Structure 1
């Protein structure tokens, strides 16, 4: 998971770009980068948060009315600055690119590019790979035209397996955006006067004052030329399967992803979860969210049960999101530093904790222990998503089969492992009905592979082995 933002037509676009990147900082905290175009490319990227990477001095040299930005949460490659996005190539035309997603046939494509097109891939970041695939296809087609550009994107779709929402500057030609044929990762765009912005989440457009035009459709390419003419083409007609984890965890609650309000989806998930809590005969005194993602669900759950909602865990906002930290040791250390209980709220109470999901179980165990030592009489734990059992191939740090506590263990053993008195999960029916309710977009499915193992793209066991190997190497590298 990463966050992307592209702007075309805004004088000194970098100022607006950096402001916009701050709105999607939650999508990646390892690195940030930006590239602008003003007859030449100007690039700045580095490790850390947006506010750590950009300052008045380096922004002053990022001139241009067109810009790309990226916040990185790495699921592939090392954690070095060289792996941060955006990337650019000189030929043809000069092309810069950033993306959100994960290419699952990386090794195969890398070999093909080097042997057939003589394009050397210098990093393990798959954005560099996508960039070179697109550049190679444009080179093969010769003279630039809108039709040739869309043809190159179509051939890029043929080549790349996985998830990818892409934004790109094509030198003096214009600005390109496209979304993989399954629409797994989000991409939305809007207009403000004669400027356009493309972003991972609608909240970015809201904050920057852009009127939302639409989500980029699966398999759609949008090109804005230097005269600000907008060209669209739907290149594929496949089943739309957006990543369901966007609504569960990743996206900000004030975003709308593919026509579905993130806040409303989480609120409905809490209402549905109440049904499972009642079936388990859980009768809490208070409901406490594990901040921040689960607040809406916890509030709805408390309302449905008719019990008090309380903020019993206070979050240190200067500690990053534990899920997207690189190693388990980092996550465990962060839990202790990040959350502090309010004793007067918790002591002698039967507490129902609500979280978005349980992946490895270690974070949940730490939190339960924290509540226990604060004096809770009983502790119940409720996940507003179903048990996670399968690796994600599309850009979430859940890529190794052994990481899932629910893969082999029944719920009773998971309960014992994390140390709570009762454990409740959302059902798949509850999850899907909560997101389908009131939707505006015409899609019938979501990517739910992490729950049920049904992957929208073609996969085989070798892909799992390759991705797991890459992830192990990355984790060893930074420990």
Structure 2
């Protein structure tokens, strides 16, 4: 689904001084462990392709913290296709500790000044820090306006990352000397939202923290010499850590690493958990394991749930076709349960460009260029088209038209491995207004309950609008079963309208009242005044 995107991903690496060289360390030695950051970022590139960057720490360098950021993919930002340029960058930013970031913008402009990590230089080493942030602060407006009301404060960028940077800096103002854990403890009391964060300072201290509800995922591993953390476990697995060494950081906990060692501590109470269910059904790499649940197995279970709902007659002309690429697990599992072939009737051109940075007609044109139907596979077939979710419907409309008129499909029945998206996300997914969503108008016309007869009428009207012969969504109960966690431990706000934080619920009420996709050119998140 090319029209929905996550905000970003974070990574961190630290080779402790005075310890034997880790077998995971590059051949250049512990003092250049930072060379591992681009490799880690490549493994979480699915979380952001707008920009990439890293900050390294080196106690033997005049510039104790040095930051490199650029627009584009990891390969583009770190010049990985040019050996000489890539080596020059790795030499320039070598160090035993580093943090990294990949970004897609849910807020703020698409320019280099918004790329992360954000570095905050200072003459005092304890106040000089850089950090990378994944998530979104639902009370961004309140925090921003409070900062601006105070004398001599100014904010340059329309992003919560800058607000968070100022909040961190305020904790170290004057003669205050809090530890990194104390800083996180104090900031957490003022923040409403979702976040994972990696920070390194000029003293060689690092902290990796996860929000108290665990909305955003963080995995970490330690082998006695090398510490590593990332938004997803696949980045650590591909570094060479054994799977039993890789752990999910608990909600409200942080890992602090200093030249003296490592500790895992709680910085905030965790009254409930609210893991983002979209991580399992769409965002995360299929090779990742999040909070002890395999992404692959979760998507496989979603496909089995879809098969259990199928009410069409199955004959020799029936085939299952996934929308590349995140739907393939669900489609294969659904097809196996139904006893029909799962075939790749759609080929994705991975070099057609990134449709998510285009708006309106641009997004439509990119979606049309990205997928090629195979007539040899589709002609005369009843197609069960499996998609992971439908948000704005731009891509789905294009696909159905191409399957029918270019691919020659006899029938097209859309099957969605997710319930209808009925509410915006204010925790880091690029859908922050009700007006941009496909499902709400149809559900409003037929009643809020999409069960029973209402579901049939609602889905029939949706199918007609898309140009499909039929449409089915999974019920909400399927999500918790597939992820194998209680529904009370998941954030399902975008499919229920029930948000896990007070400010998230408040923003939803505002979004319901706005009724326009981009009121005043701004997302709900940005337009609110605290």
Q: TM-score, normalised by structure 2?
A: 0.83
For each residue in 1:410-467, what CA deviation from the matched residue of structure 2 results, as whole angstroms up to 9, or x when unmatched? Answer: 222210111010111111111221111xx6xx98420000000010011314764899
Deviates more, 1:132-141 or 1:360-369: 132-141
1:30 aligns with 2:50: yes
For each residue in 1:253-303, what CA deviation from the matched residue of structure 2 results, as whole angstroms up to 9, or x when unmatched? Answer: 10001111000000000000111123x557661101000000010001001
Name the structure 1 match of 2:482.
434
- Cα deviation for residue 140 of structure 1 reads 6.5
Q: Distance in 1 between matches of 2:89 and 2:492?
A: 42
Name the structure 1 match of 2:490.
446
1:472 aligns with 2:521: yes
- Cα deviation for residue 132 of structure 1 reads 1.9
Name the structure 1 match of 2:461.
413
8 A Cα contact 1:119 1:132, kept in partner: no
Q: Distance in 2 between matches of 1:470 and 1:37?
A: 42
What is the SS of the residue equivalent to 2:365? Answer: helix
Q: Distance in 2 between matches of 1:276 and 1:156?
A: 46
Summarize the alignment of residues 165-180 of structure 1 with structure 2, pairs less than 5 Å apart. 165-180=196-211
Q: Distance in 1 between matches of 2:519 and 2:109?
A: 9
Q: Any unmatched runs of 5+ in structure 1?
A: none
- Give the RMSD, CA atoms, in angstroms: 2.3
Name the structure 2 match of 1:46.
70
- Cα deviation for residue 141 of structure 1 reads 7.3
Q: Distance in 1 between matches of 2:289 and 2:58?
A: 32
User: CA 1:142–1:182 in 2, change beyond 3 Å: closer, same or farther?
Assistant: same
8 A Cα contact 2:100 2:117, kept in partner: yes
1:21 to 29, 41, 47: 41
Name the structure 2 match of 1:100.
134
For each residue in 1:128-173, what CA deviation from the matched residue of structure 2 results, as whole angstroms up to 9, or x when unmatched? Answer: 222221221233672344xxx3232121111111111111002214
Q: Distance in 2 between matches of 1:73 and 1:54?
A: 17
8 A Cα contact 2:433 2:523, kept in partner: no
Deviates more, 1:413-422 or 1:8-17: 8-17
User: CA 1:220–1:320 in 2, change beyond 3 Å: closer, same or farther?
Assistant: farther
User: CA 1:133–1:326 in 2, change beyond 3 Å: closer, same or farther?
Assistant: farther
Name the structure 1 match of 2:369.
337
8 A Cα contact 2:182 2:267, kept in partner: no
8 A Cα contact 1:2 1:72, kept in partner: yes
- Cα deviation for residue 469 of structure 1 reads 6.0
For each residue in 1:332-381, what CA deviation from the matched residue of structure 2 results, as whole angstroms up to 9, or x when unmatched? Answer: 22222211111110011111110000111121110000100121111111
User: CA 1:230–1:319 in 2, change beyond 3 Å: closer, same or farther?
Assistant: farther
Q: Distance in 2 between matches of 1:468 and 1:101?
A: 21
User: CA 1:443–1:151 in 2, change beyond 3 Å: closer, same or farther?
Assistant: farther
Name the structure 1 match of 2:143.
109
Name the structure 2 match of 1:4.
10
Q: Distance in 2 between matches of 1:13 and 1:450?
A: 39
Name the structure 1 match of 2:172.
138
Name the structure 2 match of 1:262.
295
8 A Cα contact 1:77 1:470, kept in partner: no
Q: Any unmatched runs of 5+ in structure 2?
A: 1-6, 16-29, 80-85, 443-457, 525-530
What is the SS of the residue equivalent to 1:385? Answer: coil
Q: TM-score, normalised by structure 1?
A: 0.91
8 A Cα contact 1:221 1:235, kept in partner: no
Deviates more, 1:307-316 or 1:443-452: 443-452
In the comparison of the two structures, how many residue pairs are matched? 466
What is the SS of the residue equivalent to 2:276? Answer: coil
Deviates more, 1:372-381 or 1:57-66: 57-66
Q: Distance in 1 between matches of 2:150 and 2:249?
A: 31
1:390 aligns with 2:423: yes
- Cα deviation for residue 193 of structure 1 reads 4.3
Q: Distance in 2 between matches of 1:14 and 1:319?
A: 32
Summarize the alignment of residues 199-348 of structure 1 with structure 2, pairs less than 5 Å apart. 199-211=230-242, 212-278=245-311, 285-320=318-353, 322=355, 324-348=356-380
Name the structure 2 match of 1:403.
436
